[in-house]
Amino acid sequence: MKPCLALFLASLLVLLSGCTAAGRTDPVSDSAVLVLEGSGTVVYADGAESTLTAEQERLLLSFFDRWYQSLAQLEAEDLSEFFCDSHQADYSAAALDLQVGIRQAQPLDYTLTGYSFVLEVESAEENEDGSIRVRLSEDSVQNFAALPGVDSKRFDTSHTFVMQQEGNGWLIRNHSQFDPLVSTLLYAYMEEYADGQWDPERFRGLDFTQDYIDAVPGYLEQVVEQAELRQQQAAEETTAQAAEEPYDREAAVAYADQWIEERSGDWADYTGSGGNCQNYASQVLYAGGIPMDIQGDYIWKWYDDTVSNRGVTWGRSSSWSGVKQFIDYAAGNTGYGLAAEVGAPYDTGEPGDLIHMGVDSDWRHTVVITQPVSDGSGQVVDYLVDSNTANLQDYPASLYGYTDQILVHILGWNQN
């Protein structure tokens, strides 16, 4: 998903209509808050011109704490008391139901044994009506019951809130956050209303919060169906042939762990122009010894940022930074360069392999496996992964949120 779409969506979902009564009669104030148990912190980004009041900070901390307590027990708790708009409360409840449902659909115990989060406020601007628009970035650590001793980390998750004062306290009027279902809906709107071409003016004022609410049950059905198919696929036999040269998985994973929050200055960063996930994954393969390939019909290279799909020692091939183009390269390449099995049996992944994610086999994202995760019988049923855009470390692949996953098992590379 292009970041420009995400930024537009943040403004798209900030509805400036007046608040209507939700389930809560009194706003969150000093006398009515959740016990946070020290799990959350609010900090301010360098350059942030405004700060929030203690009540406003407490509202945000209480909302996030309720969210994580719901994930901890895999039972969605009521969020309506934090909202002054009942429809927006329903929208956030649907988003929480989606996250809980995704975790419930997996064969492992993904309840939480611990969590912490830091909310870095990037801006807090007062609107003409007295409401406050807050843009913040969330870093979190989640500890899953199925993964003792593992800190699963998410960095730089963007949120936009609009808060307004009600009586003697503050409530949330709107909360927008990007997830794979939002991405799916936005792509559908683009195809239907703009012929697939990005035209912000044609989307100005568009509200698909109800579409999101309506889509959650069907989306969860797809999640369950695809999770079952992956486990069925585990019984299949691999047909992969050995490569001539090995893949240094240890070096690949070491590189993956190093460049999650930060970006290597040796390469371009596409975070702001389409996403950095496949660019990052290609760098991981290169760090593991897979050479650039300018031979034959399938090219995989990065010499500079100029797009070039020719077999020359300059430019960047589409397969280096494009998810679908990389899959085409990995599946089609023969002779010199990468040897991989695209669509390998799901339980055959190893550290340094790639998983591509999407919806209805429309592949949109790439992650790097750092560790297989097995059930009580020793069967591999999930993976811990690292990724860019979103920035994740040792996070369960099954919980990312996309319905579909395909394993690309790296065999090594060939000289001929």
- Residue 223 is part of which domain span? 3-230
Q: Are residues 187 and 226 in the same domain?
A: yes
Q: Are residues 205 and 90 in the same domain?
A: yes
Q: Are residues 133 and 223 in the same domain?
A: yes
Domain membership flag for residue 240:
no
Q: Are residues 201 and 319 in the same domain?
A: no
Domain membership flag for residue 25:
yes
**Is omega for the bond preceding 390 within 30 degrees of 0, making it cis?**
yes
Count of structural domains within the chain: 2
Q: Which of 199, 230, 261 is the last residue of a domain?
A: 230
| pLDDT recorded at residue 259 | 98
**Per-residue pLDDT in tens (0 to 9) along the chain, 416 residues:** 444 444 344 444 433 334 543 433 344 434 333 333 448 999 999 988 889 999 999 999 999 999 999 999 999 999 999 999 999 999 999 999 999 999 999 999 999 999 999 999 999 999 999 999 999 999 999 999 999 999 999 999 999 999 999 988 999 999 998 889 988 888 777 766 555 555 656 656 677 799 999 999 999 999 999 999 998 887 788 878 899 999 999 999 999 999 999 999 999 999 988 899 999 999 999 999 999 999 999 999 999 999 999 999 999 999 999 999 999 999 999 999 999 999 999 999 999 999 999 999 999 999 999 999 999 999 999 999 999 999 999 999 999 999 999 999 999 999 98
Q: Are residues 141 and 262 in the same domain?
A: no
Question: Given the DSSP bridges, would you call strands 40-44 and 112-126 parallel, antiparallel or unpaired?
Answer: parallel
Distance of CA 219 to the CA centre of its chain: 16
Q: Are residues 262 and 289 in the same domain?
A: yes
Q: Are residues 159 and 297 in the same domain?
A: no
Domain membership flag for residue 314:
yes
| pLDDT recorded at residue 32 | 38
| pLDDT recorded at residue 10 | 40
Q: Are residues 281 and 215 in the same domain?
A: no
**Domain CATH number, residue 321:** 3.90.1720
Q: Are residues 218 and 254 in the same domain?
A: no
Which of 169, 183, 198, 175 lies closest to 67, judged by CA? 175
